[in-house]
């Protein structure tokens, strides 16, 4: 999403007679900002209020500003008051007066790396050589049919838009741009569509092996058609652009394009639109998992300890949601617990024992990791050689980082923390893909992939150094 700014006229939907001039700007660092000359207050010395909506024009572009909180204001005597607003989101192309209007039939999104991930081109280029010298180049741009996946509650479309231009004398260029469209049978709140877009963004990030930002996002509804300058309505619904700093921004120009051989799974390899559909169905169950798992991918700076703890939290949450498993049969554990609690002398002692037993029947982190590994084993065999030693190293590191004692805890090598956290990330994302229906043959192919096994030696060193550090620490504690 590109930066945006301009001078325009603005007013409250319920008071269209009070029009103020102002400067509107958007970038991902500062978000959406509006600076008005004047204010919407009834009296010049009243404090500015929160406004659910401010609308206006910049040039001939309709603007809607959503959730507007007052910021700095200034007064001069004599002079005019100025008022700033911090805005949650910006809509370009339409005026919305109420929350009811912010429901849409569809959303259209483009992502970083989507063209390379999809791997489908509508541009063909052929060079002709004569006597080992370049003679001519023929280029062809031809649109192809969109792919569509019908579901019970949504339709997914993968399409490719095209454009061309140039003065036809000194230059001519072609451009193709894949996009994904989500359509619902009934108007859907834009927050729900944003959630689905965020989940697809996570899937692209998981598959391409690098963070995926949103390049453009538009919403539309069938009862809001595109119109010509003279007001004539076209058959196609208007696509209204949405911008907000909360969305992960697209990468800046100049970043090297993604190489196909560096991807974990291309679009067709992961299962195409049917896989996206299954991912959207299963992802709501795993919100806590995805929240922890993807934090390290979308944040450029994070302490390695926090990164590691987020990864282990994601794996632990995933096992809770899918694997369960207890040390004892739940009925037997409840019987023994009740017997032990009833044997306590006082109510205070009973409450104390209840608090201790609340999670006593749950498996340890090491056990959870080993159970997750069993399901993902075909993809991880080449990366994790001994899952027993690996799981104990991860669990031991997590325990020492979270349960400090009177010795002040254990300092681990930062590179060991990093590579162990990467291995937990790889385990968890494969387990999530498997939950969404990634077939066994694709898991086996991942196990043979150079992308997945690229740091196997560094992981082995991290396991050995961590186990050694834990053993030395335990020996020191036993002597103290």
408 alpha carbon, distance to own chain's centre: 36
What is the spatial distance between Cα 385 and Cα 464, in angstroms, rounded to a whole number? 12
What DSSP state is assigned to residue 249? B
Nearest to 125 by CA among 179, 177, 178, 173: 173
Residue 223, pLDDT score? 84
Residue 181, pLDDT score? 96
Residue 409, pLDDT score? 63
Asked, as a colleague might, if the bond just before 78 is cis with ω within 30 of 0, I would say: yes
pLDDT, averaged in runs of 10, over the chain (480 residues): 87 91 90 89 71 92 92 69 90 86 93 89 88 88 90 91 89 90 94 94 92 92 78 81 85 74 88 94 91 86 91 93 71 81 85 78 86 89 92 93 70 92 94 90 83 88 94 80
Which pair of structure tokens corresponds to residue 265? 């799974």
Identify the helix (H) or strand (E) that includes residue 319.
helix 304-322
Identify the helix (H) or strand (E) that includes residue 218.
strand 214-220
Name the β-bridge partners of 20: 10
Nearest to 200 by CA among 263, 113, 325: 113
Are the CB atoms for 361 and 327 separated by under 8 Å?
Answer: yes
Sign of the dihedral through C-alpha 278, 282, 288, 289: negative
28 alpha carbon, distance to own chain's centre: 16
User: CA 220, 224, 227, 229: dihedral to nearest 10 degrees?
Assistant: -100
Which pair of structure tokens corresponds to residue 294? 């993807």
Helix/strand/coil for 326: coil
Identify the helix (H) or strand (E) that includes residue 74.
strand 61-74
Residue 325, pLDDT score? 64
What is the spatial distance between Cα 397 and Cα 419, in angstroms, rounded to a whole number? 12
Residue 480, pLDDT score? 67
Are the CB atoms for 137 and 126 separated by under 8 Å?
Answer: yes
First to last CA, the chain: 58
Residue 42, pLDDT score? 62
Residue 87, pLDDT score? 93
Identify the helix (H) or strand (E) that includes residue 417.
helix 414-435
Helix/strand/coil for 45: coil
DSSP 333-372: HHHHHHHHHHTSSSHHHHHHHHHHHTTTTSPPHHHHHHHH
């Amino acid at each position: 999403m590109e930066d945006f700014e301009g001078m325009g006229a603005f007013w409250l939907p319920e008071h269209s007679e009070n029009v103020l001039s102002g400067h509107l700007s958007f970038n991902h660092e500062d978000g959406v900002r509006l600076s008005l000359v004047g204010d919407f207050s009834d009296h010049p010395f009243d404090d500015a209020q929160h406004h659910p909506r401010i609308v206006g024009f910049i040039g001939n572009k309709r603007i809607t500003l959503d959730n507007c909180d007052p910021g700095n204001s200034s007064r001069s005597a004599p002079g005019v008051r100025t008022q700033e607003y911090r805005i949650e989101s910006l809509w370009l192309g339409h005026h919305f007066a109420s929350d009811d209007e912010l429901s849409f039939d569809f959303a259209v999104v483009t992502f970083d790396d989507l063209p390379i991930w999809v791997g489908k081109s509508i541009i063909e280029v052929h060079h002709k050589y004569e006597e080992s010298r370049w003679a001519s180049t023929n280029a062809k741009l031809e649109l192809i049919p969109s792919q569509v996946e019908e579901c019970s509650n949504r339709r997914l479309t993968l399409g490719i838009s095209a454009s061309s231009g140039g003065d036809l004398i000194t230059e001519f260029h072609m451009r193709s741009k894949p996009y994904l469209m989500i359509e619902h049978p009934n108007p859907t709140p834009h927050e729900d569509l944003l959630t689905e877009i965020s989940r697809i963004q996570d899937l692209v990030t998981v598959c391409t092996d690098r963070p995926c930002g949103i390049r453009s996002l538009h919403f539309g509804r069938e009862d809001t058609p595109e119109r010509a300058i003279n007001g004539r309505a076209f058959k196609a619904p208007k696509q209204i652009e949405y911008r907000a700093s909360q969305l992960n921004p697209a990468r800046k120009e100049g970043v090297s394009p993604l190489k196909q051989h560096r991807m974990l799974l291309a679009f067709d390899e992961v299962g195409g639109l049917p896989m996206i559909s299954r991912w959207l169905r299963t992802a709501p169950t795993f919100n806590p998992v995805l929240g922890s798992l993807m934090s390290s991918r979308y944040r450029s700076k994070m302490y390695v300890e926090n990164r590691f703890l987020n990864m282990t939290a994601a794996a632990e949450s995933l096992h809770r949601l899918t694997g369960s498993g207890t040390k004892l049969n739940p009925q037997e554990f409840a019987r023994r617990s009740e017997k032990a609690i009833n044997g306590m002398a006082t109510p205070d002692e009973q409450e104390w024992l209840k608090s201790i037993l609340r999670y006593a029947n749950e498996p340890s982190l090491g056990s959870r990791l080993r159970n997750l590994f069993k399901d993902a084993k075909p993809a991880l065999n080449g990366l994790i050689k001994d899952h027993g030693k690996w799981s104990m190293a991860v669990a031991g590191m997590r325990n020492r980082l979270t349960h400090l004692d009177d010795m002040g805890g254990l300092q681990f090598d930062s590179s060991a923390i990093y590579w162990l956290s990467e291995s937990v990330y790889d385990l968890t994302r494969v387990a999530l893909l498997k939950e969404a229906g990634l077939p066994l043959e694709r898991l086996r192919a991942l196990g043979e992939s150079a992308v997945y096994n690229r740091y196997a030696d560094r992981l082995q060193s991290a396991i050995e150094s961590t186990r050694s550090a834990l053993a030395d620490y335990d020996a020191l504690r036993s002597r103290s």
